[in-house]
Amino acid sequence: MNSLVFLIPLSILFLIGAGFALFWAVDHGQFDDMETPALLPLVDADAVSSDEARDRSSAPDAGGEARSR
């Protein structure tokens, strides 16, 4: 019975802390974008870097002419 005197207020403090953490996370935009983080592991970093390299090689140089391969 003595343990309930300690555990009930402790559980109420824990509940208040969890509520504070939830409202802080919502207020600071932690739940704004729920789809993008789940898709990031599927993005192939090599494909992105090869696309960037291809774009750089086909971009006009300082003289305004496209580079020839």
**Mean of the per-residue pLDDT values of the chain:** 80
Q: Give the integer Cα–Cα distance in Å for 53 and 62.
A: 17
Q: What is the domain count for the chain?
A: 1
Is residue 69 one of the residues assigned to a domain? no
Q: Is residue 26 part of a domain?
A: yes
**Residues facing 60 on adjacent strands:** 66
- Evaluate whether residue 50 is within a structural domain: yes
> Between residues 9 and 62, which one has the greater pLDDT?
9
> Does residue 66 form part of some domain?
no
Asked if 60 and 66 touch (Cβ cutoff 8 Å), the reply is yes
- Annotate 31-61 with DSSP letters as a single string: TS-SSHHHHGGGS-HHHHHHHHHHHHHHSB-
| pLDDT number for residue 34 | 83
Structural domain for 28, as ranges: 2-58
Residue 65 lies in a domain: no
At residue 18 the predicted structure's pLDDT band, cuts being 50, 70 and 90, is very high
Res 29 pLDDT > 70: yes
